[in-house]
C-alpha cells in the first residue's frame, strides 16, 4: 500500500507554493503506482491540521492504528512530521513503535546522475526532456482536453494544431519551444510537433499555450482527451519577422521531426 497526500503539502504550507509545479497529477500518480504492482493507493487529504502532526503521531495514529502498517519504506533523505525529523530519527521513532524500517539508497540514473524531483523539475523547466526521462524512467507527458484556439495554424500557416487545456493546472510545463512528441488521442498513437509558448510572431502578450501539430491526422478532436509525450526539444521559441518566415521554419521543423520517427 502507498499512502500519499493531496493537495501537495507545499501548496498548503505555502513553501514557495506560487512557483511550485507538479510532475504528476493524482490520477497519473495512481496509474504509475498501480503499474508497478501496488495493490492499494490511499490518498490523505492534506490540511494545515494534518500537517501539524508530529512524526510519532503520524506513524502511530495513521500508519499503525488506521492502516495496520507493520513495515515502512524510508527514503535516505526523507523528512517527516511537523517536527521535520530526518530519516535516521524517523527510523528510531518507527522502530520504537514496532515498525520494521526499510531504508532506500540514493538513486542514480543509467548515466550516473543523482535522481531527485528537484533535479527532474529543473531539467523539464529547462526543456531537457530527454534527460528528465532518463531520471523519471519514462517520457514526460501532459494530459488534457482539446480546446478551440485562434486557428491561425490551420487557416494561415497550413499547420493545424490541437490546442490543449491541462486537466491538472498545477502540472509543470516544459520550457517554451518546439518539441518532437508522441500524441495519444481517439485511442490511437501518432507522432507530431508541439509548440509551448506565447506565439510572439502572432502578437505580443499572448497567454502561454500548448499547441500540437499531429502528423498524418485530419480529424476533429475538439472536446476530446489528448496526451502529449515529450521526446526531444527541437528549438527555442523564436519571434519571426513574418508569418511566411514562421511557415518556412515550421516546414523545416516538421521535416526534422519526421526524420526521428522510428522506421520512417
Helix (H) or strand (E) holding 6: strand 2-6
Residue 172 is classified by DSSP as P
Q: pLDDT grade, residue 155 (50/70/90)? A: low
The values of phi and psi at residue 92, to 5°, are: -65, -45
Is the pLDDT reported for residue 234 higher than 80? yes
The pLDDT of residue 144 is above 70? yes
Q: Which three cell numbers stand for residue 57?
A: 503521531
- Determine the Cα–Cα distance for residues 101 and 45; give it in Å rounded to an integer: 25
pLDDT of residue 31: 94
pLDDT digits (tens, 9 = 90+) for 16-41: 777 889 999 999 999 999 999 999 99
Q: Which residues contact 88 (CB under 8 A, 6 or more apart)?
A: none
> Taking 60 as the threshold, does the pLDDT of residue 96 lie above it?
yes
Question: For 40-56, how does the pLDDT look when each residue is reduced to its tens digit (9 = 90+)?
Answer: 999 999 999 999 999 99
Considering only residues 88 and 151, tell me which one the structure prediction assigns the higher pLDDT: 88
Helix (H, G, I), strand (E, B) or coil at 69: coil
pLDDT at 212: 96
Give the model's pLDDT for residue 10.
85
Pairing of strands 71-74, 100-103: parallel
How does DSSP assign 75-101, residue by residue? Answer: -TT-EETTTTEEHHHHHHHHHHTT-EE
Does residue 62 surpass a pLDDT of 80?
yes
pLDDT tens-digit readout, 201-231: 666 666 789 999 999 998 999 999 999 999 9
Residue 158: predicted pLDDT: 80
pLDDT at 199 > cutoff 80:
no
64 by DSSP, 3-state: which?
A: helix
Nearest residue to 145 (alpha-carbon basis) of 169, 121, 127, 124: 169
136 Cα distance to chain centroid: 10
Phi, then psi, of 63 in degrees rounded to 5:
-70, -40
pLDDT at 200 over 70: no
Averaged over 142-162, what is the pLDDT? 80
- The answer to whether 68 and 108 are in contact (CB under 8 A) is no
Task: Provide the pLDDT for residue 202.
Answer: 66
Q: What is the pLDDT of residue 210?
A: 95
Residue 264: pLDDT above 60?
A: no
Report residue 263's pLDDT band, with 50, 70 and 90 as the boundaries. Answer: confident
Q: How far, in Å, are 77, 184, 205, 239 from residue 230 at the CA level?
A: 29, 12, 25, 22
pLDDT at 11: 86
Q: How confident is the model at residue 170 (pLDDT cuts 50, 70, 90)?
A: very high
Taking residues 93-112, what's their average pLDDT? Answer: 92
DSSP state of 235: E
Long-range CB contacts (within 8 A, 24+) of 106-115: 106/76, 106/77, 109/134, 109/135, 110/134
The answer to whether residues 125 and 174 touch, using CB atoms and an 8 Å cutoff, is yes
The mean pLDDT value of the chain amounts to 91
User: If 0-12 CB within 10 Å is exposed, 13-18 middle and 19+ buried, where does residue 44 land?
Assistant: middle
pLDDT attached to residue 152: 61
Residue 154: predicted pLDDT:
62
Q: Which of 50-64, 117-131, 204-218 has the lowest mean pLDDT?
A: 204-218
Amino acid at each position: 500500500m502507498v499512502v500519499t497526500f493531496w493537495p501537495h503539502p507545499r501548496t498548503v504550507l505555502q513553501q514557495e507554493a506560487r512557483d511550485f509545479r507538479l510532475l504528476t497529477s493524482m490520477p497519473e500518480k495512481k496509474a504509475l503506482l498501480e503499474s508497478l504492482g501496488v495493490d492499494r493507493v490511499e490518498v490523505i487529504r492534506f490540511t494545515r491540521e494534518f500537517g501539524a502532526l508530529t512524526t510519532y503521531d503520524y506513524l502511530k495514529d495513521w500508519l499503525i492504528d488506521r492502516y495496520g502498517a507493520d513495515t515502512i519504506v524510508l527514503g535516505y533523505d526523507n523528512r517527516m512530521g511537523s517536527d521535520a525529523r530526518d530519516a535516521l530519527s524517523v527510523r528510531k521513532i518507527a522502530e520504537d513503535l514496532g515498525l520494521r524500517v526499510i531504508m532506500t539508497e540514493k538513486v542514480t540514473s543509467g548515466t550516473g546522475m543523482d535522481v531527485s524531483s528537484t533535479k527532474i523539475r529543473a531539467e523539464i523547466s529547462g526543456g531537457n526532456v530527454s534527460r528528465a526521462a532518463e531520471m523519471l524512467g519514462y517520457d514526460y507527458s501532459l494530459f488534457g482536453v482539446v480546446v478551440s484556439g485562434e486557428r491561425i495554424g490551420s487557416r494561415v500557416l497550413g499547420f493545424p494544431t490541437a490546442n490543449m487545456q491541462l486537466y491538472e493546472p498545477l502540472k509543470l510545463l516544459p520550457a517554451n519551444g518546439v518539441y518532437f512528441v508522441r500524441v495519444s488521442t481517439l485511442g490511437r498513437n501518432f507522432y507530431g510537433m508541439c509548440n509551448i509558448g506565447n506565439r510572439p510572431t502572432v502578437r505580443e502578450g499572448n497567454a502561454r499555450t500548448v499547441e500540437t501539430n499531429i502528423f498524418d491526422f485530419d480529424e476533429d478532436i475538439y472536446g476530446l482527451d489528448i496526451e502529449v509525450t515529450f521526446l526531444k526539444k527541437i528549438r527555442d521559441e523564436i519571434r519571426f519577422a513574418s508569418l511566411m518566415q514562421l511557415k518556412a521554419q515550421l516546414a523545416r521543423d516538421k521535416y526534422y521531426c519526421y526524420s526521428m520517427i522510428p522506421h520512417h
